[in-house]
Structure 1
Amino acid sequence: MSILYLTNKYYKLEKKYNTIIIKDKYQNTKVFPIEKIKKIVIYGKKSISSQIIFELLKRDISLIWFSKYGKFLGILDSKRHINPTIHRRQFLLSENKDFSLNISKIFITSKIKNCRILLYKYNKKYNIDFVSKSIYKLKEYIEKINISSNKTEIFGYEGNCAKLYFKSLNYFLPEEFHFTNRSKRPPKDPFNSLISFGYTILFYEIYTTIEYVGLNPYISFMHKPRKNYPSLASDLIEELRSPIIDSIIVSSIRSKLFSINDFDYLDKNKAVYLKNKSTKKLINIFENKINKIHKYHFFNKSFRESLLFQAQSLLQAIKEKDYKLYKLLIIR
């Protein structure tokens, strides 16, 4: 099963028999059998026929739409995976202080452990004093989080960890990609632009996986639910940011796969966004990473398979009302 990413603004989509035909402005065509498509991700304005929309809904294939700069616009989905019984139990557990607190600790400590491992990997060669101290400090915060009695305290420790982590990453980037701090909406520099775009791709990979296993993406345990926002995807993305997105961004920059010429610099709000042609490059790097096989709970799995396994383990934890059944992902 494959995922179609459409970034070229001139693409036009048509359906013929059991295939989807993609045409560019020169009428060059690519043909994809519909049964081999898992989902379609579109960036920018594209022409898409009602026949295709009908076929996607019938076959339970998701269509995710973003602006050309990666702002999420919406999802077309058949909603066949909705299970009211599971959603009700999920909601009740989200209101359960013990369950939500303890599974939040798992999400955050897993995230920080993966951040430490990535910093250790890069610092092995350079032995930078600030980074070494940060790695040790992150370990101390993990210990504090494990004995925390409320989520407010946990988020405070997480914020401190994020500052140390991103400040440490700066040491491993070439000067033109140095950044002052993490900026999101909008990203203010090339590094933050890459990170934000990568997180967005991963976020909606998680969103569709959550729906696929039958969970409600809008009912979360760690992040506070808010209108029109799939906060459960925010819960699950935490431990995956570093091993999947941060690692490919830092590695790509250091390998000179991106330069400062890959970005649009907007005067209006001082925002920095990936150019259209550069989004394709990052999407390809992401797909290579998420399909890469790694060791996961004594099994060899791709990161995409691991993500599905995690969502399924969260489903099991909800069914059994036992947060210990959730399978965290720690890189090696």
Structure 2
Amino acid sequence: YRPIYEESEIEQLLNVCVDSAKKLHGVTKESIVVQKGKEVSVKRESLLSSTPMTVMADAFKKAFIESERSDMDFLFEKNEEVEPTAYGDPFLRTLYLLEQGATLKKEDERLIILKDKKVIKEVPAIKVDQILIFGNIQVSTQAMKFCLEENIPIILLSSRGKYFGTVESFKRINVELHKKQFEKADDKRFSLEIGKAIIKAKINNSKVLLQRYSRKRPFISINTEIKSMNNLLDKLLSVKSHDELIGIEGAASARYFSGFRNLIGDQWGFEKRQKQPPPDPINSLLSYGYTLMFYNIYALIRMHGLHPYVGFLHGIRQGHPSLVSDLMEEFRAPIVDSVVLNLITRRSLKKDDFLILENEDSPCLLKDGARKVFIKAFEGKMNSSISHGGTGYQVDYRRCIDLQVQALRRVIEGKSDKYEPMMIK
């Protein structure tokens, strides 16, 4: 058997084989023969030897025997059909509906998107874990019933991202867990410790993002902002009250966005973070990105049985999913802010992509094309790889958020003593 490979693929294959061999025991680099551009072979008898048998080794051995394959091509094969687990897919596949006037229907095992009686997209229902609907889009009764039966939340927003509500099943409500969560939220000491951990991660991650982008722009100085943020991190150690914690968070945020403004320059009209309404393109992008991330986190919290409206850093407030806001703080900079900086510095978006009204009280809005560009970049970021500090796993950002939700749940249940936030380096 003589497959032809590029030289880079040969090197990649060798590294994969060696790494796998170490885990399987008894297979060394010398037992793997590679002739670049000509032949790839693995000494099958080494893999099937009588070395100590781990679960992974046993599975690997059976795969070779059952498939009757001696080649390693399967390492490069991609399986596009990835089914959700029994507890929901931790990678959370999201269907975004943006086409105004469209209708979402269900036929057989597929979700169909139509406009003017023409099918514009078909999606296998098994590939969808949540649906975000922006603006004037209809959902058929059959599609809604299917989503409720399959625990697929439908999140309704305006075309500009304002939240209206969620259509979701009650199957995952965990009353006992919610009771513990309310009790912990009433514990001021517990809430303060969780809040301190989250704000520590937020300041650290914001600082690291500024440092990363400033390395590419040595002519821009953010030393003052970095020094201030380091000082605020030191002050966190001695925080004794929630009000003091919020004060430090506010000061750090102001210093961070000062550095953020320096990195993007004056041409975008960005002065500071403003939400309601966003007066410039940068604030508009940040708000839109935070909305997308907010409801991704919301779905993961619901998936693990926690109450999204009972937080620790952000107090309980009518109509506000405060636990979602808590967990968002760790990921604002590394996900959304990073996407915004990347789109702006690479000039993927221009001022013409925004609707900027002369009235000072009117919001700056993304045009339809800009929203699609942003969602594509956002999803790319969510699917990009990062090392998760708590486990050491190399995962994508969605899985990383999922692991943080699980970590917080363990602390609430008393299975872990301390919440370790996600800190990037």
TM-score bracket for this pair, using the shorter chain length: over 0.9
Retained in 1: the 8 A contact 2:261–2:272? Answer: no
Residue 422 of structure 2 is aligned to residue 292 of structure 1: no
Deviation at 1:157, TM superposition (A): 1.1
Residue 137 of structure 2 is aligned to residue 60 of structure 1: no
Deviations 1:186-205 (A, max 9, x none): 10100000000001100111
Deviation at 1:17, TM superposition (A): 1.3
Q: CA RMSD in A?
A: 1.5
Deviation at 1:28, TM superposition (A): 3.8
- TM-score under structure 2 length normalisation: 0.75
Tell me: higher relative CO, structure 1 or 2? Use CA pairs within 8 A at least 6 residues apart: 1
Paired residue type of 2:237 = N
In structure 2, what is the equivalent of residue 135 of structure 1? Answer: 226
Deviation at 1:257, TM superposition (A): 0.8
Alpha carbons of structure 1 residues 29 and 62: separation in structure 2 relative to 1, 3 Å: same
Q: Matches of 1:68 and 1:125 in 2, distance apart?
A: 35
Q: Matches of 1:191 and 1:228 in 2, distance apart?
A: 27
Q: Matches of 2:354 and 2:141 in 1, distance apart?
A: 34
Deviation at 1:225, TM superposition (A): 1.1
- TM-score under structure 1 length normalisation: 0.96
Tell me whether 246-255 or 20-29 shows the greater mean CA deviation: 20-29
Deviation at 1:39, TM superposition (A): 0.9
Give structure 2 stretches of 5+ with no counterpart. Answer: 1-83, 85-92
Residue 347 of structure 2 is aligned to residue 256 of structure 1: yes
Paired residue type of 1:241 = R
Q: Matches of 1:17 and 1:281 in 2, distance apart?
A: 31
Deviation at 1:25, TM superposition (A): 3.5
The structure carrying a bigger helix percent of its residues is 1
Q: Matches of 2:372 and 2:415 in 1, distance apart?
A: 42
2:374 pairs, out of 282, 290, 295, with 282
Deviation at 1:18, TM superposition (A): 1.4
In structure 2, what is the equivalent of residue 150 of structure 1? Answer: 241
In structure 1, what is the equivalent of residue 187 of structure 2? Answer: 96
1:163 pairs, out of 254, 257, 277, with 254
Deviations 1:40-81 (A, max 9, x none): 111001121111111110111111111011101111110211
Runs of 4+ in 1 over 6 A off after TM superposition: none
Q: Matches of 1:270 and 1:19 in 2, distance apart?
A: 40
Q: Matches of 1:323 and 1:239 in 2, distance apart?
A: 20
1:304 pairs, out of 398, 406, 413, with 398
Paired residue type of 1:219 = V
Q: Matches of 1:115 and 1:57 in 2, distance apart?
A: 38
Q: Percent identity?
A: 33
What are the equivalent positions in structure 2 for 1:223-242 lying under 5 Å apart? 223-242=314-333
In structure 1, what is the equivalent of residue 129 of structure 2? Answer: 38
Retained in 2: the 8 A contact 1:86–1:319? Answer: yes
Q: Matches of 1:321 and 1:14 in 2, distance apart?
A: 43
In structure 1, what is the equivalent of residue 423 of structure 2? Answer: 330
